[in-house]
Structure 1
Amino acid sequence: MSQRSSTSIAARQHIVLDPCTLGRPFHLLDAFNQRLGRQLSRHLSGRFNHRHRASFAVAQVAIGSYVTGQGDAAWRAYTTPAGALAVRLDRRLLLAMLGYHYGDKSTIDERMPETETEQRFGAATSLALLDVLRACVTPSSDGGFTPEPLRTPEIGDRVIRVEIQERALGLTGLLEIALDDAWLSLIFASAVPRRAVATPTAKTETPLPARLPITLSARMLTKEILLDDVMRLAPGDVMPVRLPDTAEVLVGDTRLFQATIVEHGGSLCLTRFENLE
């Protein structure tokens, strides 16, 4: 191999450094990006996928410099006790969420003028997504988000870019969150490993599953009867029903699992839980 070829191959393997990142631990943010991606995916699944049979998923999370001329939506700016940030969501994604929320897929048309409903829904959705970011950075609440006059981030500002896909509709778009230095410092603090601090006495903490109680309810069967028949029911009456083989398992009104009904020791039990997502 010639000297020229070896030199060009070596040059292609060099990593180009952004001078704005020097002196700060950006190389430690991969774990934070993955954690934020998982939490955003969980939020989208709970709000849209489980309730409306949507297929939103986070494909990638990265932190980079702000670039002008990208995106098709205006920024929404907010201040918090921790600092200032701004957020925007590609309109095609926002319209898809709006369509699933109201059960009207005809709203997913970027040629339509913006409506007041879309503005209100976009503001509420932006705040919900920012809450996910805050939970990843500062688990304890430190106040709300106060809207600020519309502004655009400046060149060199750091921006979290989240690529979101809606597979059923074949859509891909960006969620972008611009950070000020205070918020960026919070993210670094949550990403940099903390040194273990020796404590004089070890405290026994309650296991995490015990601190997150979730109430499950099982719906084994439903039966439709006439209101006139209901009015004639009296204590001791027997309503004939046929027990099915499976039951629905719910959290609130959300169907999460389908389970098999079995009898054990004279009691009815549920087993073989299957995800309904």
Structure 2
Amino acid sequence: MLDPRTLGRPMHLLGAFAERFGADVSELLRQGLNRRYAIGLQVDGTGMRQRQHNEEPVRWNVYACPSGRIGMAVPRALVLKLLLYRYGGGEAAPVEPGAVAVTASEERLATRLGQQLALALARRIDAGLPPVGVAAEPALADPAVPFHSESALPTGLWQLNLTLVEADSGQRHELRFSLDDGCMHRLLDRLGRGRTLAREGAATPGLPLASRLKLRLTARLVQQRLPLGAILDLQPGSVLPIPQPTAVVLVKDSPLFSASVAEHKGRLWLTAFQDL
């Protein structure tokens, strides 16, 4: 069914946005959990879609941000695994979520992890997708994303899913993010802004390639062969007679031109270039 609210909006960029956010989460894991616990979590898949009515219910932690609310569902199996690593039992067999009761430590860890991920998503929403070749806009200050509430329902119609996989065990975990109407409006506005910047950058006439490409030229003024005895006889003040020099102009070690050498006001100049 066609949603009239999506007409004219950059919906086709949502997949690219999810991939960019996946890269953000990969860096967050590298600097955080993977470095601290050596758990080896990797982002193995991303996607963004409208939620289905027959989806399995999960518990959502809801975080407030300047543009709306972000729902965060962290799988309990991942939280329990992180608790094992925190208390030195990371190599033990995974704990079945249904076999243990929920503890205060588990709830605190789930809330804090969800807040870190919700903050990363709020940052990416504000940044959008800066187009290649166009200077990025100045970074905004980190938005505040305080914990708001728990909910049995997602905050909005749109969900962003990330699949994490443990490098050693291969165990997979799916993170779910739910965006309310305010967050989706902000996201689509930022994606549309990036598209506008890309068009403006493409429409701006640039300098021709010959004016933008810079090469370092080397001029070889003279190359002369001497017998070994003549070299050994050289003394300070010795003069080597050379003919009127013709320089060879090189880029790195590749000769491109020959040029005549002229003197003007005590300086040597190259002139009369000829292709080699």
Root-mean-square deviation (CA), in Å? 2.8
Deviation at 1:71, TM superposition (A): 5.4
Deviation at 1:73, TM superposition (A): 4.4
Contact 1:85 1:177 in 2 (8 A): yes
User: Where in structure 2 are the equivalents of 1:67-216 lying within 5 Å?
Assistant: 67-68=52-53, 70=55, 73-105=58-90, 106=92, 108-109=94-95, 110=97, 111-138=99-126, 139-141=139-141, 143-153=143-153, 157-192=157-192, 193-195=195-197, 196=200
Aligned residue type for 1:194 = T
Secondary structure in 1 aligned to 2:39?
coil
Q: 1:104 to 1:98 in 2, by over 3 A?
A: same
Secondary structure in 1 aligned to 2:102?
coil
- Write the distance in 1 (CA, Å) between the matches of 2:156 and 2:61: 18
- Write the distance in 2 (CA, Å) between the matches of 1:72 and 1:93: 17
Aligned residue type for 1:157 = L
Q: 1:28 to 1:41 in 2, by over 3 A?
A: same
Structure 1, unaligned runs of 5 or more: 1-16, 200-277
* Among candidates 8, 13, 27, match of residue 12 of structure 2: 27
Secondary structure in 2 aligned to 1:145?
coil
Aligned residue type for 2:22 = G
- Write the distance in 2 (CA, Å) between the matches of 1:154 and 1:51: 31
Deviation at 1:100, TM superposition (A): 2.4
Structure 2, unaligned runs of 5 or more: 127-138, 205-276
Structure of higher CA gyration radius: 2
Can you list the C-alpha shifts for 1:128-158, whole angstroms capped at 9, x where unaligned? Answer: 1111112212242364223333224469710
TM-score normalized with structure 1 length? 0.58
For these two proteins, the number of residue pairs brought into alignment is: 183
- Write the distance in 2 (CA, Å) between the matches of 1:20 and 1:147: 32
- Write the distance in 2 (CA, Å) between the matches of 1:20 and 1:75: 28
* Identity rate, percent: 22
Deviation at 1:41, TM superposition (A): 0.8
TM-score normalized with structure 2 length? 0.58
